[in-house]
Amino acid sequence: MKISVLTLGCKVNKYESDALIFELKKRGYLATDNLEFADCYIINTCAVTNEAEKKSRQMIERARKFNPNAKFYIMGCASQNRPIQFMEQGVQFIIGTAGKEKLLDNLDKSGYQIFDFPKEYEDDLFCEQTLARAYIKIQDGCDRFCTYCLIPYLRGRSRSRKIESILKEVEKLPNYVKEVVLVGIDVADFKENGEKALGKLLLLLDKFNLRLRLSSMEDNLIDEAFLKTLSNLKNFCPHFHLSLQSGCDEVLKKMNRHYTTKDFENSVNLIRKYFPDAGITTDIIVGFPTETDENFVETLKFVEKIKFSQLHIFPYSKRDGTAASKLYKDLSGKIKTQRLKQLSLLGQKLKNEFIEKHTVGKMLIEEIVDGVCEGYTENYIKCYLKGDFKVGDIVKIKYIKPYKNGALVEKI
C-alpha cells in the first residue's frame, strides 16, 4: 500500500510528518511526502491563520484528483481546532495534534478521536533525515497565550524533550547531514528539570561538528549569559529569528507580548555585540484590530531602526476562541493589504542592504536546481552558486549581486 504524507504549516509539522513516513516505511508501507497517486493520504494540517486552515481543506481536494478512491486521514492543528470540517469532506479518520503516532494504529478505523494533551513531551517517533540540513524537534506546546494566537489551545502547554533523546537522534544522523536546526513551538522555553537549558543543549551538540542553527524564538531568551555561551561554540550559525509582531508598545501590550520595543532593541544590540554579522529576522503582524495608522508608522520606524535582515509579514487573521477575537473588532482587508505592501517594500530594502553589507561567508549547498547550487550562509543569506559542487559541501563564497530571493555568489 502506498501512503502519501502531506504537510502544511511550520517546521514542527514537517518534522512530525517525516517521522510518520519513517515509521510507515518500517511497517512495510511505501511512503512518500510527494503529492502524487497513493492509496491513502495523511494530511498534517495547520490552523495558525484562517488561510492556513482553508489550504488544509483544499489539500484534500487536490490529492483526491490523483486518486478519487483514496482514503484520507487528517491530523494536526486544524483538525484539533475543528474536526467536523474534515468529516464533511468524507475523510476516513481524524486525530488532532496529540498522539499522532496513534494514527498509524487506526488506519482501518473510521471517525475521529481527539486525544488529551500530554503533560510530558511525546517521544515516540523519530525522523529519517534525508537532506544536508536536518530539523530536530526539541519542544512542543506554548504557555504564552498571545491574544491573537490559537496555538496554546491546539498544542497544549509547553513541554521539552529529554536532552539524552535529542543527543541520541543527532548521533545517528547520516554523514551527509552538515547542519542541525533546532525546532519547536517555543524553542526559547526549552527546559531541563524546570530550568532553561537551551545553552546547555547547544554546548553538548557542538561536539558533533555540525553547523547549529536555532529556529524562531522569543526575546526573553537573550541575555549576556546565553550569548556568551553561543559565542564559545565553534559551530553556531549567527542567525536569530526573534518574533517581534509589532513595533508599537501599545499594540504589543494588547497582543499580550511580554516585552517593549526598548526591551527588543536592547536584545538586538546585545546580539550584535557578540555577533556583529548576525542575521536578525522577524515575524510581524499587520492590521491587528487595535492598530491605528499612527501605530503602524511606529512599526515602520522601529523596523527601519533595527535593520532586520529579513521580514516575515502576516496580515492579522481573526481566530475564534482567542482573546483578540472576543475583545476587538477586526480591521478591513483593504487596510491590512495596504500595510502589508508598505512593510514588504521596507523589508525588501533592508534585506538587500544586509546582503550587500555582508560580502563573504560560508554557504552550505542544500540542493542543486538546473545546475545552480542553492543554500544558506551561516547568517541566513540565501545563495545561488554556479560550479561543480555537490550537496553537503560547505563553500567559502563572496557576493556578486542580488539574485532571486537572495544573492548570486562565487567561490573564493
Interval 282-302: pLDDT, tens: 999 999 999 999 999 999 999
261 with 393, same domain: the answer is: no
Of 354, 369, 392, the residue at which a domain comes to its end is: 354
77, 31, 213, 247: which is closest to 138 by C-alpha? Answer: 213
Distance between first and last Cα of the chain? 49
**Residue 121 covered by a domain:** no
206 with 62, same domain: the answer is: no
At residue 123 the predicted structure's pLDDT band, cuts being 50, 70 and 90, is confident
pLDDT at res. 124: 77
SS3 content of the chain, % helix, strand, coil (to 5): 35, 25, 40
Question: How is the beta sheet containing 310-315 ordered, strand by strand?
Answer: 239-241, 279-286, 310-315
Residues 6+ apart with CB under 8 A from 225: 199
**Residue 125 covered by a domain:** no
253 with 269, same domain: the answer is: yes
Of 309, 336, 354, the residue at which a domain comes to its end is: 354
59 with 168, same domain: the answer is: no
CATH number of 263's domain: 3.80.30.20
12 with 26, same domain: the answer is: yes
Q: Facing residues of 224 across strands?
A: none
Cα separation, 5 vs 3, in Å, equals 6
Burial code of 382-402, b = ≥16 C-beta within 10 A, e = fewer?
bbbbeeebebbbbbebebeee
CATH number of 399's domain: 2.40.50.140
Residue 175 has pLDDT above 80, yes or no: yes
44 with 105, same domain: the answer is: yes
DSSP state of 68: T
The rounded percent of the chain whose pLDDT value lies above 70 is 100
**Residue 128 covered by a domain:** no
pLDDT at res. 101: 84
CATH number of 66's domain: 3.40.50.12160
71 with 9, same domain: the answer is: yes
Over residues 66-77, mean pLDDT: 97
At residue 62 the predicted structure's pLDDT band, cuts being 50, 70 and 90, is very high
When mean pLDDT is compared across 8-12, 99-103, 314-318, 392-396, the lowest value belongs to 99-103
What mean pLDDT value characterizes the chain?
A: 96
Cα separation, 412 vs 392, in Å, equals 17
**Residue 283 covered by a domain:** yes
Residue 3 has pLDDT above 80, yes or no: yes
305 with 405, same domain: the answer is: no
Residue 106 has pLDDT above 90, yes or no: no
The rounded percent of the chain whose pLDDT value lies above 90 is 93
Overall domain count for the chain:
3
At residue 127 the predicted structure's pLDDT band, cuts being 50, 70 and 90, is confident
Residue 402 has pLDDT above 80, yes or no: yes
379 with 321, same domain: the answer is: no
66 with 180, same domain: the answer is: no
DSSP state of 190: -
Q: Which domain holds residue 406?
A: 360-411
Over residues 249-264, mean pLDDT: 98
Distances (CA, A) of 382 to 15, 62, 366, 395: 22, 30, 11, 13
96 with 241, same domain: the answer is: no
234 with 366, same domain: the answer is: no
When mean pLDDT is compared across 105-109, 306-310, 398-402, the lowest value belongs to 105-109
String of DSSP letters for 107-175: TT--EE--PPPPSS----------SSEEEEE-EE------TT--HHHHH-S-EE--HHHHHHHHHT--T
pLDDT at res. 128: 86
Residue 161 has pLDDT above 90, yes or no: yes
**Residue 350 covered by a domain:** yes
